[in-house]
Amino acid sequence: MAKRSAPSGFRDFLPEQYRKRQELIRRIREVYESFGYEGMDTPALENLSVFQGKGGGENEKLMFHVLKRGADLQRALEKGGNELSDTALRFDLTVPLARFYATHRSELPTIFKRYQMGPVWRAERPQYGRFREFVQCDVDVLGSSSMAVEADVLSATTTALARLGFTGLTVRLNSRPLLHMLGDSFGTTQSAQFFTVLDKLDKITVEEAKIELQQCGCAEGKVQELLEYRLAVSKFAPAALLEDLSRKLDERAKPFVEQLKEILALTPPLPSGQLVFDPFLARGMDYYTGPIFEVAAEGVPFSLAGGGRFDGLVDKIAGTKPGPQGGVPACGFSIGFERVFTLMEERGMFAAEQRGADVLLVSSGQPESDPSAPMRLADELRKAGLKVDVFPGVAKPVQHFAYAEQKCIPFAIRLGHQPETFIVRTLSTREDVQKSKADLIAYLLERRT
């Protein structure tokens, strides 16, 4: 017997959930398109060489590999099974974007503003709230080094979140190069590990933090200093904090401080929120090269979206040398689709109409003179703009009504024994009225809401 359920960590979507997910996709898309971002898509699979060593960090280890086939597989097995696969399912939408841009650059606008929404796959350990197939929702701009790009993706993403109904948004802004320098100033030698510790600093005890920071190379005194500075920064306004950091670090920090100042100046007031500078914001991916950012909403203990600048990733994939101006500039922002979906479901933030149709048509139970009468009537009602479900075959009224309730259909029409008369039942009140065909459509349209 076949296993009856989806593979572990994978989900089915029943109609109610499916409708809500489609609503979320539609609402985010509308905002991104209103900002001039264009939709595009890449395949589920990419050549392995595209994914390997592109800064995907932990996610690269979680790739699902697709098995070679036929003679190719046979050869791989004979060689000891080291090259069983040369493609993998995408683990994010950023690395495939870089490959897409490398492939199609000449067909794209000089500055390419795109959005992409689609599934990605990671072999996460199945656990609550973690899925092996989940939707990502990214906006990116390729081809411009201007900090106006950062301001644009920030505005678009916070506008989308505000439009979905989230309030009290806080965007935290930092810069990867500045974070490196800040780490250096505290004596860290292991920057990847340092970023990981920063990421979980709020979830561990001070004692644990001290031990972990020392493992990154910070001397004991420096650890204390770092933790105190971290507490102090939350009291500064963004501009003052940037000045302070600029004094703290050396000359090399100046251009990156300027970048953040520019973002702060270019960004108009956020809808329902604030933009702050957080010199300790780290972000997970290795491919970030400039400003990085994250958005949280009031009352939500995790970020709803994150992103940053990743200049040079395209060059890495295209195998091109960055020119004198540097590599292909790129910057993006990704909304945590599944988190946002779960929150909106829990909080009842969906507007989705849940009815499977406006009207259910059922036959009279008598052999009709014209057996196609129910479907002909359905056709007329649909032309008037109604969604009409025809109950197939003959059944008892109780079965019709149960079916209409299961699908949240508000009205059922029974074809009467006289031709051209119809009995309309309002399911919620169980009230029946008889209507002539002439009155039927007006009656339904009026009550549909």
Name which of residues 55 to 114 contact a copy of itself (CB under 8 A). 64-67, 69, 77, 81, 84-85, 87, 89, 99-100, 102-104, 107-111, 113-114
Q: Does 268 bind a copy of itself (CB under 8 A)?
A: yes
Among 262, 349, 364, 423, binds a copy of itself (CB under 8 A): 262
**4 vs 430, beta carbon nearer a copy of itself:** 4
By CB under 8 A, the residues from 348 to 377 that bind a copy of itself are 356-357, 360, 371-372, 374-376
By CB under 8 A, the residues from 269 to 298 that bind a copy of itself are none
What type of residue is 147?
Answer: M
Residue 286: which of 125, 56, 73 has the closest Cα?
A: 56
Alpha helices in 200-312 (DSSP H): 206-215, 220-233, 238-248, 254-266
Give min distance, CB of 182 to a copy of itself, in A.
26
Among 391, 422, 424, 435, binds a copy of itself (CB under 8 A): 391
**Distance from C-alpha of 365 to C-alpha of 444, rounded to nearest angstrom:** 23
**Distance from C-alpha of 37 to C-alpha of 419, rounded to nearest angstrom:** 54
Going residue by residue from 215 to 254, which x/- string records binding to a copy of itself, judged by CB under 8 A? ----------------------------------------
**271 vs 416, beta carbon nearer a copy of itself:** 271
Could you list the beta-strand ranges (E) of 80-153: 85-89, 112-121, 133-142
Among 50, 139, 169, 241, binds a copy of itself (CB under 8 A): 50
Give min distance, CB of 66 to a copy of itself, in A.
5
Residue 333: which of 167, 169, 165 has the closest Cα?
A: 169
Give min distance, CB of 204 to a copy of itself, in A.
28
> Phi-psi region for residue 420, left (φ > 0), alpha (ψ -120 to 50) or beta?
left
Query: Among 144-152, 175-183, 209-217, 335-343, which window interacts with a copy of itself (CB under 8 A)?
Result: 144-152
Q: How far is CA 415 from CA 115, 372, 374, 418, 424, in A?
A: 49, 12, 7, 8, 9
Q: Does 119 bind a copy of itself (CB under 8 A)?
A: yes
Contacts of 146 (CB under 8 A, 6+ apart): none
Query: Among 199-207, 261-269, 343-351, 439-447, which window interacts with a copy of itself (CB under 8 A)?
Result: 261-269
**357 in helix, strand or coil?**
coil
Q: Check if the beta carbon of residue 58 is closer than 8 Å to that of residue 77.
A: no
By CB under 8 A, the residues from 10 to 49 that bind a copy of itself are 10-15, 18-19, 22, 33-36, 38-47, 49
Q: Does 326 bind a copy of itself (CB under 8 A)?
A: no
